[in-house]
Amino acid sequence: MACDARQCVKKFNHLLISEWVMIISFIFLVITTFLQVVFRYVVNLSLSWADELARYVFVWLVFSGLVVSFARGEHAIMNFVVDRYRGKFRTFMLALIDLLIFGLFVVLTISGVMLMKVSVGQSTAGLGIPKMVVYAALPFGSVMMLIELARAWCKRLTDTHEG
């Protein structure tokens, strides 16, 4: 049974979720940083919570942006390694790289969930938000990346079988 990538995307649009998280994170980051600069240099008053919020929002921005950039093919890639090879060895190398990336994000997902469990009951110093919320960015981004990798594999398989 062939995997239909379009059907996979219709069932769960992980990219849309990641894009919205990225957009909201970026807006919060810009507003928080702008307020911090204005208050520090114009009002001569430092906002104690702004630096912490910007840092944690940036973490969410990175992990949601990772998925979006990978899906669009805008991530850092080392083509010079794979472009040297042709045929079956190239296909093998691409599959090996995909498998290693998949393994990395499985480990990151598990580690992120473990980190969230350890942080139960802890809160951030300045804002007092649960650290689980901050640490949830790691498994969120990792799971979304695993979904994107599976979608890319489905697409590659259907393209291989059709072409």
For 37-61, the pLDDT digits (tens) are 999 999 999 898 999 999 999 999 9
For 116-145, the pLDDT digits (tens) are 999 999 999 889 999 999 999 999 999 999
Least confident of 30-34, 77-81, 151-155: 77-81
Average pLDDT rounded to a whole number, residues 10-38: 90
Task: Give the model's confidence band at 35: pLDDT under 50 very low, under 70 low, under 90 confident, else very high.
Answer: very high
For 56-81, the pLDDT digits (tens) are 999 999 999 999 998 887 776 666 76
In this model, does residue 160 exceed pLDDT 90?
A: no
The amino acid sitting at 116 is M
| Predicted pLDDT of residue 1 | 45
